[in-house]
Structure 1
Amino acid sequence: MKVHYYVQTMTTAIVFDSAGTLLKVYRVARDINYGNIIENVVSTNMITKGRGCALVALEADSVEFLDDADPAMRISEYMSHTEMGFDVICRGLKCTHERISDAIARDRIATMGDLKQAIEAVKLKCKDIYYLNIGLVVDVPNGTIPYVLATGGKIFPGVKRMVRRLMASGADVYIASGDNRKSLNSLAADLGIPEPNVFDAVSPEGKKEVVLGLKERYGRVIMVGDGMNDYLALKAADTGILSLQQEGMRPDLLFDASDVIVDNILEVESVVEKSLHMNNREQEPEK
């Protein structure tokens, strides 16, 4: 991930996570060993159970490549043959990119058919789908892919109008997400967010870096997220907003890292208004 910053004249930057924050998402995992679909999974929670596991997103502009893929072909074989890369979204201890790549190559069970079935499960449940993403849970020490993942989402009601009002009020809006560039560019274009303000395929540490970089340019940086992959960025921001609109269990430390808790993403607007008002007061010359 290359992060580019340029001088800003605005005083407030708002960084949004995408899936679960701007988008209502439906996530499924296909258990490779048992062959069943697990619905409404929290993907980052799946790797916390094992310190040697990693969550990766496949580098694909869309899932259409699956249409021509042989269902019986192993994922490891397909990735090697096509030189398909991956982005690390979350990882356990000592899970370097090289070790994760080696673990994927050693897997002999997960197939392209498993990925296809995960995608079909999402399409079946999420009718008005906005985008699709696929990924893998990799057991690094054992060299296996125990789960394949598929995620679909659509924009929460009212988000488009809220983003426009935020930008009109004098704030700059950014997106920092682990999702792929094509999906995020489509989302940004729909919301009216400039493409240079989109940071794709960022890890939890990467989101923190985005926030810290923006803090060098803005008087105040607000981070809005919904899950553990936003934890570091929420802590680093001047104001961390945790959105609970997407269903799911969240650990106490995520609440502790957040300054504001909202049940509806549209409540972010009032928080930003207070922040802008505070900045304006701070910049008023002393009499």
Structure 2
Amino acid sequence: MRKEVRMGVGAGARIRIMELAVVFDGAGVLYAPFRIIKNIERGVTKRSRVSGITCTAHLERGAMAILKTRYEETLEKAEPSKKLSDVIREEKIEIKVVYKKKGVSDREVVEAILEDKDVKLKDVHETMSFLRKCDILPVVGVGVIMDLASKKTKYLIAGGINFFPGTQNLLKQLHEMGVAIFLASGDRIEKDEMAPYLPDMPPENIFGMMNPEGKCKLVRKLKEQYKVIMVGDDRNDYLAMREADIAVLSLQEEADRPGKIFEVADIRIKDIGEIKEIIEEIE
């Protein structure tokens, strides 16, 4: 544990709850991720339990980016033979870099994606077809993992989500307790898409396609008003967890986590419902 966390109960705890904020990562924390990954070089498509962040971390000069668009509104309508890079240009789709290795710039990632000629829309349609067979919410996204050493697309990812069993009940309980709750996710989620499924979280508190620095800045800003708990699960949450007053590491999903994420965590959980117990014990 990196800092002393004092726990207790009583009237004082209830007063401080009104000044408490909890920032949740998305995949692996509030919801289970469903990933269909295609290895572009090998032509192999399969469901993967390994996160895109982990796949990226294994590349010496890797980066992961999300296409800021709704598949059914743009990509789904494109001809299978078209290059993904051409459709991105034609539809003016914004590219959001959500994770990258040290020394890699956002500009370098975007340029590599726009110059790539290997990924076709048929690849996107294939991964999305597999994904839609899963038990997921109608909130899906498309991303790419780039190998900047070769300036090639290593993996194409179609991603979807479904809440862990205790998520919505927990958020309802925290809302009733007066705790401010936020979602800070690297996934392709938008406020109007997610709000119907998160009735106890104000839409303005929902943030998607955030990179590690963005999550950290959000926590730092909230600390001006609240005592902040950051609940993360992987290396892209490290900066925000280090910045938070209390860092909670979610182990609900298997992942190849670096040692530093365990070192920065004050508390580890295996069920999202444990957050309520942690809050009730805060002195």
| TM-score exceeds 0.5 | yes
The aligned residue for residue 94 of structure 1 is: 103
Distance 1:97 1:166 in 2: 36
Counting only pairs closer than 5 Å after superposition, residues 86-125 of structure 1 correspond to structure 2 as 86-124=95-133
Which of these residues, 254, 267, 270, is aligned with residue 247 of structure 1? Answer: 254
Task: Evaluate the alpha carbon distance shift between residue 212 and residue 100 of structure 1 in structure 2; reply closer, same or farther with a 3 A threshold.
Answer: same
SS of residue matched to 2:33: strand
Amino acid at match of 2:57: T
Confirm or deny that 1:54 pairs with 2:63.
yes
Match of 1:40 in 2: 49
Tell me the CA shift for residue 150 of structure 1. Answer: 1.2
Matched ranges for 1:199-218 at <5 A: 199-218=207-226
Equivalent position amino acid for 2:231 in 1: V
Please list the CA deviations of residues 142-197 of structure 1 after superposition, one character each: whole Å capped at 9, or x if unmatched.
22112111111111112112111112112100111112342x54334322211121
Question: d(CA) in 1 for partners of 2:135 and 2:68?
Answer: 24
**Residue 160 of structure 2 aligns to a residue in which SS?**
strand
How many pairs does the alignment contain?
265
What TM-score results when the alignment is normalised by the length of structure 2?
0.88
Aligned residue identity for 2:155: Y
**Equivalent residue for 2:169, pick from 143, 161, 173:** 161
Please point out which of 150, 175, 193 is paired with 1:186: 193
Distance apart, 1:13 and its partner CA: 0.4
Aligned residue number for residue 6 of structure 1: none
What pairs with 1:1-287 in structure 2 (closer than 5 Å)? 10-38=18-46, 39-124=48-133, 126-182=134-190, 184-191=191-198, 192-218=200-226, 220-275=227-282, 278=283
State the alpha-carbon separation in 2 of the partners of residues 258 and 188 from structure 1.
29
User: Higher relative contact order at CA 8 Å, sep ≥6: structure 1 or structure 2?
Assistant: 2
Q: Deviations over 1:215-268 (max 9, x none)?
A: 0111x1001111111111111111111111123332222111111101111111
Percent identity between the aligned chains?
29
Aligned to 2:4: none
| Residue matched to 1:281 | none
Aligned to 2:11: none
Report if the CA contact (8 A) 1:242-1:255 is conserved: yes
**What is the RMSD computed on CA atoms of the aligned residues?**
1.8
CA distance in 2, matches of 1:105, 1:67: 19
Deviations 1:115-151 (A, max 9, x none): 1111122222x22434211100122242211211111
Letter in 2 for 1:122: L
Q: Is the 8 A contact 1:19 1:25 kept in 2?
A: yes
Say if 1:130 and 1:154, in contact at 8 Å, map to a contact too.
Answer: no
Shift of 1:58: 0.2
- The answer (yes or no) to whether the contact 1:224–1:240 under 8 Å persists in 2 is yes
Question: Aligned partner of 1:215: which letter?
Answer: K
Larger displacement relative to structure 2 (16-25 or 38-47) = 38-47
- Secondary structure at the aligned position of 2:132 is classed as helix
Unmatched segments (≥5 aa) in structure 2: 1-16
